[in-house]
Structure 1
Amino acid sequence: MLEVACIQFDPRVGDKTYNVEHSLKLIGEAASQGAKLIVLPELCNSGYVFNDREEAYSLSEPIPEGDTTQAWTEAARKHDVYIAAGINERDNDKLYNSVVLTGPQGYIGTYRKVHLWNKEKLFFEPGDAKNPVFHTPVGRIGILNCYDVWFPESFRTCALNGAEIVAVPTNWVPMPEQKKEDLPMAVHLCMANAHSNGVFVAAADRIGTERGQSFLGHSVIIEPSGRPISGPASQDQEEIVYGSCDLSKATLSRTVSERNHVLHDRREELYEL
């Protein structure tokens, strides 16, 4: 049984010191409640709504030697946890909207967001690697980032690569025609993809309004049946969503009837355009 926590908070654009220190406080709180996998929002070290690429670059860091990754790695060692968190990555003159995974033994790996949303395309390069799955002592962890969940191929690739749980740091924003009382479409997408791929999904969203852009909260942990086991969280409150995930269900749930398996029944020869 893997104890998971999704941390929902309000990063401040441009204030890395506050963002990282506050994330460390919340990581400690989640660890004290027994969490072993902790997921934080997208770009939670730098903030999200940059004025220009120069500002984005000034708030970026290399991985793993940058201060933020080092701080999260030290927290992972201190608390004996695994942390998946959104980070503004610099690689020479290129920027990536990335997720870093670190654990008690140190830095594990990086995922660079493949599907860039709106003005992200002005600042970041798209990732060009297939969705990695990291084999850790607590489970096989896939990683996606926000807009990636709109693409079923992303979840499917994670499942085919052996993922039992997919961590999703995210900054969900309102979609056209979405009412304030509506459950965000992204939550529905995560639920559907958890079910159709037989994986747990742990999505940590941010809250607040940054330079006029509002964010939706509703962090959630979903089981392979597609049903939330914890959350969705509130729209506008800092909170930590906790869930107990029996990762054996990720394999068992892919058998959906006596004669059906959601991965084995694929007809790849018919899908090519």
Structure 2
Amino acid sequence: MASSRNEAPVTVACLQMEPVFGETAHNVAASIAMIEQAAAKGANLLVLPELCNTGYVFASREEAFSLAEVIPQGASTQAWIDCAARLNIYLVAGITERENESLYNSAVIIGPEGLIGRYRKVHLWGDEALFFEPGNLGFPVFKTRIGTLGCQICYDCWFPESFRMAALQGADIVCVPTNWVPIPGQDPGREAMANILVMAASHTNSLYIAAADRVGIERDQPFIGQSLITSYTGWPVAGPASSKNPEIVLATINLADAKRHRNWNDFNQVLKDRRPDVYTLP
């Protein structure tokens, strides 16, 4: 049995909520209420949905600018920083970010001591391209006292390179604020395609993944919920959550296992078996 000094236990919570478009103060207060509930159950790493402070379906770039905030000075980030300090937790939350005349679909990574960093969505989906600039920070990982965290947002999950970049940089878990929408051709008797992609990425990179989705209908756009936490094996350890209702998805995991069990047998290790020398087009 592994020595206790080689363990990295963490209790992860995905906070599936229903933001109200444009009601930033209400949304942040609702998120903090859910954070407090999850922390009372022992959660010390919590993930909130994409753009959870403002809502998602903007009518114009001007409207998006009017709701966007500077990081970390904005009211939403400051409220989450205060909450993380008070509860001694780590938090990843989706936020509409403004930097000068640019807008980003971003996430803040916050710890008990304040802002750790930010992630900007690399792969924009649909009308997002009308409002946001593509992320320009790459796929950073964040070393914390509880482990090394990666971050992605929603459509980033459709690109295997995103998770592979996190794994190659030593991430133990990737936190995914998301606003998944219905996918054409989805079999109602099967897991959501987003769930399948997250499970596959966990398995093929030996990573934990915590994906926090939203629910509800906003300006005629439905969202599918089904937040989940996957093990490094690829199988869910919590969730998928409801497709319609707010919910806290909670799991206690050992982040050390993400690296400890990357050796699948005496011969194969998923990252070391890569062949970059042949991954180029002729």
TM-score relative to the length of structure 1 = 0.99
| Aligned-partner SS, 2:264 | strand
Q: Which moved more, 1:263-272 or 1:151-160?
A: 263-272
Structure 1 segments unaligned to the other structure (5+ residues): none
Q: Deviations over 1:202-221 (max 9, x none)?
A: 00000000000000100000
**Distance in 2 between residues matched to 1:161 and 1:185, nearest whole Å:** 26
Shift of 1:248: 1.2
For 2:152 and 2:81, the matched residues in 1 are separated by 20
1:130 deviation in Å?
2.2
* 1:245 positional shift: 1.2
Structure 2 residue 109 is matched with structure 1 residue 101: yes
| Cα displacement (A) at 1:128 | 2.1
Q: Which residue of 2 aligns with 1:231?
A: 239
> Alignment partner of 2:55: what SS?
coil
The aligned counterpart of 2:202 is: 194
Equivalent-residue separation in structure 2 for 1:189 and 1:256 (angstroms): 20
Q: Does 1:212 align with 2:217?
A: no
Q: Does 2:45 match 1:45? A: no
**SS in structure 2 of the partner of residue 100 of structure 1:** strand
- Residue 59 of structure 1 corresponds to 67
Superposition map of 1:108-257 within 5 A: 108-257=116-265
One-letter code of the match for 2:263?
A: T
**SS of match in other structure, 1:73:** helix
Q: CA deviation at 1:183?
A: 1.9
* 1:144-182 residue CA offsets vs partner (Å, 9 max, x unmatched): 100000000000000000000000000000011124444
Aligned counterpart in structure 2 of residue 8 of structure 1, from 5, 16, 33: 16
Counterpart-to-counterpart distance in 2, 1:61 and 1:118: 22
Partner SS for 2:244: coil
Rounded Cα–Cα distance in structure 1 between residues aligned with 2:14 and 2:101: 32
Q: Residues 109-147 of structure 1: CA distance to partner in whole angstroms, max 9, x if unpaired?
A: 000000000000000000122211100001100001000
Deviation at 1:252, TM superposition (A): 2.0
Q: Which amino acid aligns with 2:210?
A: A
TM-score under structure 2 normalisation? 0.95
Q: Which moved more, 1:252-261 or 1:54-63?
A: 252-261
Is 1:263 the counterpart of 2:271? The answer is: yes
Instruction: Read off the aligned partner of 2:248 and give its amino acid letter.
Output: I
Q: 1:71 maps to which residue? A: 79
Q: Secondary structure at the match of 2:129?
A: helix
SS at the partner of 1:173? coil
Partner SS, residue 266 of structure 1: coil
Spell out structure 1 runs of 4+ moving beyond 4 A.
Answer: none
Amino acid in structure 2 at the alignment position of 1:22: A
Q: Which range moves more in the overlay, 139-148 or 178-187?
A: 178-187
Alpha-carbon distance in structure 2 between the residues aligned to 1:52 and 1:253: 47
